Amino acid sequence: MAASSRVGDMRRISIPPRRDWREKANAVGFSFHEMYGEPYWVDDAAYCFELAEVEDEIEGPSQELHEMCLDLVGDIVRSEEALDRLAISGEIQDIVRRSWERHDRHLYGRFDLAYDGNGPAKLLEYNADTPTSVFETAYFQFNWLTDQMAAGNLAPDTDQFNSVQESLVEAFGQFSRDRIFHFAAISDSPEDQGTTVYLMDCAVQAGHRVQFLDMREIGIDARGQYTDLQNRVIERCFKLYPWEFMFQETYAAQLREQSTVFVEPAWKAVLSNKGLLPLLWQRYPGHPNLLPSFFADDPAAADLSDYVIKPLLSREGENVRLFRAGQEVVSAPGDYGAEGFVIQAHAPLFKSDAGYAVLGSWIVGDKACGLGVREDRSPITANLSRYVPHVIVG
């Protein structure tokens, strides 16, 4: 094993890659291990953690953060002012509120955490509506782990914080099996389609009948019901498609009466909105796993010297700007920002010769159950940031 980059207990190590890992990836549908000519999956490295570190600094705080978020949603959906702050307005407020009051079942989400091995992990955002990298986390990095142990490159007692697949199957088992479970995504995106097909497989393991369709293939019949290409009524549909896009579709008018069809539920539009961050900070000021966060028009934001400006609805790091000592040092292009911005205190990321790392801590159902790591040369994690597996040692 090559030398490692270490900060605190967390460290990045080099490890011999599997010679046939690309073939293995293609064989299980992981066609996006390389995207747009750039490597996405990293087979010759790993992030190492100690068991107590994972339990105390990642798993435990993630569970607490999720419970804090759920506690806050109820207050947000009952406040027109709070929903306006999140750019959730008009009739959409009622759709979101009714979804929460019905206790519409949800599936999964991913916290993005800043953690460098020193001090508490800090919440950067909650990807609670359309999180990707679940296949890489749940399946392919575990496949990598077992192969590396079999090859003798990792000790036989090496572990991983990863019960994501079992948790997904269990979560899908909580949905009734009395109807076809449709799964929809934009099939032009290999990553979105690959993620959705993987989730379909988990649903099949839970006993569901499933059907994939492109988001653009969702139709409406004469009775105003959603239908698929076979003119079957869509009674339940997982959608890897943001709620803010759903509200803009031609079939948005049907959402008032039929939002119950979709998973994730409409109330996840609250948790996936970065306006959640200042509302969390208001509710839990000084919490060790939160960063000071403010809406852009809050005068308190002026007290921050090192900070990040984020659009309420940005994805994959688009339109994020990082400031140090009040000066912009890096930014990412994109098409977001019309709805408004939040300002969040900057938190240092783990840094090695390979770049900056962000931890993705997975919540399935209501349980913290796994970890994935993305890294980039830029401190702004973006669409093509690399995925690196992790191990628990010692």
pLDDT tens digits along 232-282: 999 999 999 999 999 999 888 899 899 999 999 999 999 999 999 999 999
- DSSP character string of 151-209: TTSS-TT-B-SB-HHHHHHHHHTTS-SSS-EEEEE-TT-HHHHHHHHHHHHHHHHTT--
Average pLDDT, the chain: 94
* DSSP type of residue 102: T
Q: What angle do CA 92, 168, 73 make, to 5 degrees?
A: 30
> Which amino acid, one-letter code, is at 217?
E
Residue 1 has pLDDT above 50, yes or no: no
Q: Which amino acid is at 366?
A: D
Q: How far is CA 341 from CA 79, 91, 254, 336, in A?
A: 20, 22, 30, 10
Count of CB atoms within 10 A of residue 101's CB? Answer: 12
For residue 19, how many C-alpha atoms fall within 13 Å in the half-sphere facing its CB?
A: 1
Predicted TM-score of the model (pTM):
0.95
Taking the alpha carbons at both ends of the chain, their separation in whole angstroms is 16
Every domain of the chain and the residues it spans: 5-273+350-393, 292-345
Give yes or no for a contact between 362 and 368, defined as CB atoms under 8 angstroms apart: yes
Phi, psi of 207 (to 5 degrees): 95, 15
Q: What is the pLDDT of residues 188-203, one digit of tens each?
A: 999 999 999 999 999 9
Please check whether residue 97 is in contact with residue 269, taking contact to mean a CB–CB distance below 8 angstroms: no
**What is the C-alpha separation between 45 and 28, in angstroms, rounded?**
21
Is residue 276 within 8 A of residue 72, CB to CB? The reply is: yes
pLDDT band at 8 (very low <50, low <70, confident <90, very high): low
Does 317 score more than 80 pLDDT? Answer: no
Cα–Cα distance between 359 and 362 in angstroms, integer?
10
**Phi-psi region for residue 102, left (φ > 0), alpha (ψ -120 to 50) or beta?**
alpha
- Mean pLDDT in residue range 166-170: 98
All residues at 6 or more sequence positions from 68 whose CB lies less than 8 Å from its CB, including other chains: 280, 283, 284, 287
Q: What is the DSSP letter of 55?
A: I
- Residue whose token pair is 């059907």: 211
Cβ atoms of 132 and 195 within 8 Å: the answer is yes
Q: Is the pLDDT confidence value at 2 over 50? A: no
